[in-house]
Amino acid sequence: MGLSSAQHRTLTAVAEAALPAGRFVPAAGEATVRKVEQFLSELPLALQRGVRGLLHGLDGAAWLAGGRSFARLPITRRLAILDGWRTSDPIRRLLLRALVSPLKMAHFDDPALYRQLGCVYDAARGREARPAYLRDRVHRLDGDLAVDCDVVVVGTGAGGAVVGRELAEAGLAVVFVEEGRYF
């Protein structure tokens, strides 16, 4: 069960407003929406209905704010509605994120775009099993423990976490020591 033509137009209008062209990045549009529709078609029916309901709700908000469907509003009005959701209550922010996140993933997951930006596209990397540094964790120590590692990072604040991850991705065995709780 795919999107109706009206829902497709609404999602395309969201893509155009949320992901405009930049200096090096093309605007989102039909191709991005087709990728999202393919993704949606693989989701359980209940989630598909949720997305369709969300698009219907966005159209309703557009009718209330501007007297026409979201896709028929000028870009400035579309941006104002999306920005209103972005700065509103947590529920609307979450709903906006639910609409825009798949668009971003579909739009930027493009080998041609990576080449245009001078980057290497490596889709296989995201499909690999989680690396050991994300799998192996010791949550609580009740006594002495001998650990064989290359680097010990004390503190997982903004600096320690980034440095430790970079070292782990470079192949070093990294141990983080943190006083706080694990989340």
Helix (H, G, I), strand (E, B) or coil at 142: coil
33, 98: one domain: yes
Joined tokens for residue 154 = 């004390």
* Pair 176, 136: CB distance under 8 Å: no
The answer to whether 36 touches 10, Cβ cutoff 8 Å, is no
| Domain extent at residue 114 | 5-124
Can you give the pLDDT of all 183 residues of the chain as single tens digits? 689 999 999 999 999 999 999 888 889 999 999 999 999 998 888 888 999 999 999 999 999 988 999 999 999 999 999 999 999 999 999 999 999 999 999 998 888 888 887 777 776 655 455 555 555 555 566 677 777 888 898 988 778 888 888 888 888 888 888 776 554
Please state the φ and ψ torsions of residue 130, each to the nearest 5 degrees. Answer: -60, 135
**Number of domain units in the chain:** 2
Position 141 scores a pLDDT of 63
CB 45 within 8 A of CB 1: yes
Domain-located, residue 182? no
In this structure, the answer to whether residues 35 and 67 fall within a common structural domain is: yes
Looking at the structure, tell me whether residues 152 and 63 fall in a common domain.
no
- At residue 152, φ and ψ (nearest 5 deg) are -115, 125
Q: Return the pLDDT at 72.
A: 96
Q: Is the pTM of this model over 0.75?
A: no
What is the reported pLDDT for 54?
93
Q: What whole-number distance in Å separates Cα of residue 41 and Cα of residue 55? A: 15
